[in-house]
Structures are given as C-alpha cells and as structure tokens.
Structure 1
Amino acid sequence: MSSASTDVGPFTGRPMSELLPLMSNIAGERVDGIFYQYFGFNEPIEPHFQHTIRNLEIRDDDIITLGFPRSGNHFAFEVVNMVQKQSTEYVKSHMIDNVLELRKVDTYESYRQEPSPRNLTINFQVRKIPQQAVEKRTKIVYLLRNPKDALTSFYKHWIKLQADDMGFRGTWEEFLDLSVSGQFTYGSWFDHVLCMERYMADHPDTPVHVHLFEEMVSEPLPTVKKLCKFLGTSEELAPKIAEVTDFGYMKKNSSKDGEIGDRFLQQGAAFMRKGTKLDWKNNFTVAQNETFNKIFEEKMAGSKLADLVRPYL
C-alpha cells in the first residue's frame, strides 16, 4: 500500500485511511502500487502484466495507442484505426474488447491472429508496455486530455458501472482525493503523464505523437492530418475520417456503445458520454478548482505535456 494512505485528502480534509475503504467493493489488485480492476475477468492481474504483456510479440508495423482512462480513448480508438488502416469504417468490436490489459482470454493467440497493421490499445502507464515494443521503438500515439475533464468523465463513468464489485459508490470529493493521491484505479493522471514524459526523454529515438483531445474536438481535420503524417499514411481520407469520427456522429451512427453499455453500465448510461471540453466547470466547485490548480502546478512544474493542457484548466 502506498504511503499516501496516511495522508489527509486535500478535497475532503479526511485521512486517507478513512477513504480507502471506499475501494473495498471494487474487485482488483495492486501491481507495483497501482490498483487495477478485474473488470469482469476475475483472474490475477500481476502475471498478466509481468509475463503475458511484457513478453507479447511485437511486429515491426505495430503501433501503440496509450492514454489515461477517459482521455477520449474510445474516440481516438476509431480515429487511429481509420488512419492506420486507411478506412472510414468503424472497427466491428468495441474499444473495451481491445484494451490490452483487459484482453486476458487467449491473449497471445488473439493477437497472433490479428492482421497487420495492429493497434495495441492501452490504458496503463507506458513503463509496462511489451519489452519488444521498447526494443523495436514502436510508434506510440499518446492520448492527452486536460485532467479536470478526464477526472470528471472518470467519476461519472465509474459511478455508473452496474456490477457491485466494479462501480465506485463514493462522492465526487472522495473520488478526487483517491484519484489525485494515486489510490484509485489506474493511479493518478499526474503520474501517468509524467511517466510518459520520462519515457520520451529516456527513449528519444522512439516516435511519439501526442494526440490532444481538445484539438480533436475543436480542429478535427488538422488533427487527423497530423496523425496521418505521424503514421506515414495518405491524407486523402482525412476529411471523411474527421466527419465520421465526430463525436455526435459516432454516437448516432454506431451501435457498439449501446451494446457495451448494456454489458457494463447502469440503464441509460453510455461509455461515450459527452465528448466535449470544459465539462469540468459543471462539476468542480470554486474551492475544488483552486485546490486542484495548486496540486497541478506542484506536481507538473516543468512538464511540457502539462503545458499542452494548461489552457483548458
């Protein structure tokens, strides 16, 4: 358990020892200090990370799309796959069924059968990617979204999970304390981003493209074209890709979200929630916003990735 368990939560003012029991109903385990949910696969997670994921065979034309949860991951999943495969068709399976850490059934065989080029979709920190991906300098698309919106979406998603051993039943303030301290599932946004920044510094020869959620919402076509350039694909389909991956268009024209919602979420909830920026203003109080800004500046001082999201805080 992290030493953060003895600290006082900055949002509730309560000892973390009082807040940690709020996680007790969520089925999962900690790996290297970070909590991961079983998410319906009630099998040990540590062997999946330490052996299956670490030793996954990587092809030369594979790419990795990686981002902290609720950073526009479902949104980017379709965009990246279309650019990579030069298609304007949605992937038949849902993003959730393609997340590497959740793909525990016949992992090696299922990936072996996938045709190239493959997009390895990941939510965990970059330090745990397959060893061959590090050695082969596999291209990484890093999904970045301002943390206030990411955490707002994170909370609203986790309280809507239908299973008693999956959903979070605490308050918004309690969630903020657990999340910023790194005790909630997937750890803290700050650590996730700083880990990526360290990886980029330590592996300067690895191509990394930062895919900013806010830019995709405001300027979809230029953002898709940047992705085409990074992946070395034609820009010919970029206008159509930008059109069919508009958030509202996807919610209306793709049935996958409703199907996956029926599997995991309470009635009426959706994995693709709003797809907007600055929704955090509807959730943070003035005092919470001031506290969060202080924490952000303390933790992210000198971070270039932090500079990209600061205009949206």
Structure 2
Amino acid sequence: MNTNTLLTKLQSRMQMAKQVSDEEKLYRYKGVLYPSIMCPEDHLKALENLEAREDDVMLVAYPKCGFNWMVGVLRKIIAEATGMKTESKVPPLIEFLGPDVMKLMDQSPSPRFLGTHLHPDNIPTTFYTKKTKMLVIFRNPKDTLVSFYHFSNNNPVLPSGQSWESFYSHFMSGDVPWGSYFDHALAWEKRMNDPNVMIVTYEELKQDLSEGVRQISSFYGFPLTEAQVQQVTEDSSFTAMKESSANSHGPMGKVIFRKGEVGDWRNHFTPDQSREMDEAFDKHLAGTRLGEKLDYQLHCQ
C-alpha cells in the first residue's frame, strides 16, 4: 500500500479540520460517536467488505490505552522477526482507510499490520472467521480518561476547548468517540477464552516491557532471540518513542505521546469523581477476569 498517498490524504483531512466547527467533528453511526473527519460514514461502511487474512497482525485498543506505543513495539517486533520494515507515519487504523485505500489493501503483502479502536462487535467479521490473531490493550479507566481529555483538546480533528468537568461526564456516559470504555471492556471480557485474542494491560507493559515483548512476539508466531527482545525493549520505552515521535508522527507526536505515566489521574480527579469512577468500575467489572487483570485497586485507589 502506498503510505505516501494515505499520508497525504490524512494530512489534507487534518487541514480540513480547521474549517469544521466542533459540533460537526463528531457524528453517530449505529449509536456510537466517531470523528467525522478521520472516519466518515463511507469509511465505516467500506469496512464491511474488508477481507481479513489469517496472518494479519491486528492490534486493538480503546482510544488512549497505549495503542500508538504498541504500534511502535509491534513494528519493531515484525522488523526483527521478518526483516520487513513497516515504519510509517500513518496510524494503521482500519477505520481511517476509506474505500479506495481498501482496494489497495488487498494487494499488500503479508503480514499486513492493521489496527482499530472499534468495539469488538463492530470489527469486520472476517477477522473472527479467519481466526486472525488480535492483541488487545487496556489501561485503567482513570488514566485513560485523563489521556483522552488532553488528546481531544489538542487534536484538531476532535472537539477542543472542553472543560475537564464536561469531558469527564461525557466519558462516564460513553458519549465520546468510539463509545463507552466499559462497553468495550465487557465485550472483550466475553472473548478472553478465545485463543486468537491476547489481552495485555498498559500497566503491566510499563512494569515489564521485555516480558511483554516476549509474550507478544510468541503470540503472533514471531520468534525473537533474547538479544532481539532486549533490542526491541530498549527502542520501545515510552521515552524513546516520544523522542522519535517527531519522525514517526510529525507534529502530532507531541499530542499522541504526552506523559505515558500510570497515576496521572490523581492530578485531575476530584474525590467525588474518583468515587463515581470506583462505583462504575465495581458495577461493570468487579469479579471479571479483565477487571482483575486491570488491578484497579493498585492503580486507581
């Protein structure tokens, strides 16, 4: 796929954002909000015809759970294991592609590296029928909310200038791009036994990235030597990614790679908001395996 063509299209969309009012930057498709500039309705409709391959490398995350960081990690794993460079300034989100780029996707050599923020029920069904392996990243909801808030306010294609209070209440009611955090989490909870799905958390990757790299490369069937694991890990720390983001993401690098901390929520949440999120987490995820994996008490209390 010609990444230059795609990059030019994405850049012209970013330019377009300057002429679009905040109200017009989001729209609903099948009940979920999406950014109208980056994934208009014709993009989402075209996804219904996207033919998955068994050897696609699919990365899935709710927004601001570490997706861009893992894009960098996976690109390095693929390069080490196959010698194929998949460096690109274009995020591999399938909902950004559009009908014309989809046609080019069919001619792309394997393994194709794809990603999405879509709810698992909205991911094209061929990814499930072909048993494509999917790596899913989650992050504790408090830090996700904070990261999403800053990302929205600094990203020209999303409504900006929102107050913390207003973004917080939108997030809690699921009225944010790509929908409710808890809806996504519960839908993946149901798929935790699927051998083609691997769920990792942002927090465990921050704690021990080299173990994460080992598990992820082995899940996708990319054998790496211990020296390669260490090389990928060194090049993939959040700090290293942030430093190279000017090359990998252009001016959006500063917006995408902000702090990368665990616990930044303490600088934003009021005690009442913190309690409200604790209650929401208990209501939706207490007693679930994903809830346990997120280690909420450690990271959010």
Distance 1:90 1:235, change over 3 A: same
Tell me how far 1:122 sits from its aligned partner: 0.3
Q: Is the 8 A contact 1:67 1:142 kept in 2?
A: yes
Considering only aligned residues, what root-mean-square deviation do their CA atoms show, in Å? 2.3
Cα distance, 1:39 vs structure 2: 3.0
Name the counterpart of 1:136.
Answer: 130
Tell me: CA distance 1:260–1:105, structure 2 relative to 1, closer, same or farther (3 Å): farther
Using the aligned pairs only, state the percent identity: 27
Distance in 1 of aligned mates of 2:286 and 2:154 = 34
Q: How far, CA to CA, are the matches of 1:258 and 1:207 in structure 2?
A: 29
1:119 aligns with 2:113: yes
Tell me the distance in 1 between the aligned counterparts of 2:122 and 2:101. 16
Match of 1:214 among 192, 197, 203: 203
- d(CA) in 2 for partners of 1:258, 1:139: 26
- What is the CA deviation profile of residues 66-102 of structure 1, one whole-angstrom value per residue up to 9, with x for unaligned ones? 0000011100011122223436997432353x21111
Pick from 271, 278, 289: which aligns with 1:293?
278
Contact 2:79 2:86 in 1 (8 A): no
Q: Counterparts of 1:218-233 in structure 2 under 5 Å? A: 218-233=207-222
CA distance in 2, matches of 1:131, 1:258: 30
Which residue is equivalent to 1:312? 299
Query: Gaps spanning 5+ residues in structure 2: where?
Result: 1-20
Give the letter for the 2:213 counterpart: V
Q: Which amino acid aligns with 2:104?
A: S
Question: Is the contact made by 1:64 and 1:140 (CA closer than 8 Å) also made in structure 2?
Answer: yes
Cα distance in 1 for residues equivalent to 2:132 and 2:186: 19
Instruction: Quickly say closer, same or farther: Cα 1:71–1:26, change in 2 above 3 A.
Output: farther
Per-residue CA deviations over 1:212-262 (Å, capped at 9, x if unaligned) read 111211111111111122112223111100000111112223423551428
248 and 72 in structure 1: CA distance in 2 versus 1, 3 angstrom threshold: same
Deviation (angstroms), 1:210: 1.1
2:240 aligns with: 249
User: Any conservation in 2 of the 1:64–1:138 contact (CA below 8 Å)?
Assistant: yes
The answer to whether the Cα contact below 8 Å between 2:54 and 2:131 also exists between their aligned partners in 1 is no
- C-alpha change, 1:196 and 1:33, in structure 2 (3 Å) is same
| Aligned twin of 2:13 | none
Normalised to the residue count of structure 2, the TM-score between the two structures is 0.84
1:180 is displaced (CA, Å) by: 1.5
Report the residue type matching 1:216 in the other structure.
L
> Residues 140-159 of structure 1: matches in 2 within 5 Å?
140-159=134-153
Runs of at least 4 residues of structure 1 off by over 4 A? 87-91
Q: Which residue identity is paired with 1:28?
A: L
* Residue number in structure 2 paired with 1:11: none
Query: Structure 1 unaligned runs (5+)?
Result: 1-22, 263-268
Q: Distance in 1 between matches of 2:118 and 2:221?
A: 26
Q: Could you say if the C-alpha distance between residues 40 and 49 of structure 1 is closer, same or farther in structure 2, counting changes exceeding 3 Å?
A: closer
Cα distance in structure 2, aligned partners of 1:222 and 1:205:
21
Judging changes above 3 Å, is the alpha-carbon distance between structure 1 residues 302 and 38 closer, same or farther for their aligned structure 2 residues?
A: same
Change (3 A) 1:91 1:136: closer
Give 1:107's aligned amino acid: V
Distance 2:240 2:147 in 1: 20
Distance 1:249 1:218 in 2: 16
Compare the two structures and name the one with the higher helix fraction.
2
| Candidates 12, 33, 36, aligned match of 1:35 | 33
Contact 2:57 2:114 in 1 (8 A): yes
Q: Distance in 2 between matches of 1:181 and 1:254?
A: 32
Cα deviation for residue 302 of structure 1 reads: 2.9
Deviation at 1:105, TM superposition (A): 5.6
Between the aligned partners of 2:96 and 2:231, the Cα distance in structure 1 is 31
Q: Which residue of 2 aligns with 1:92?
A: 87
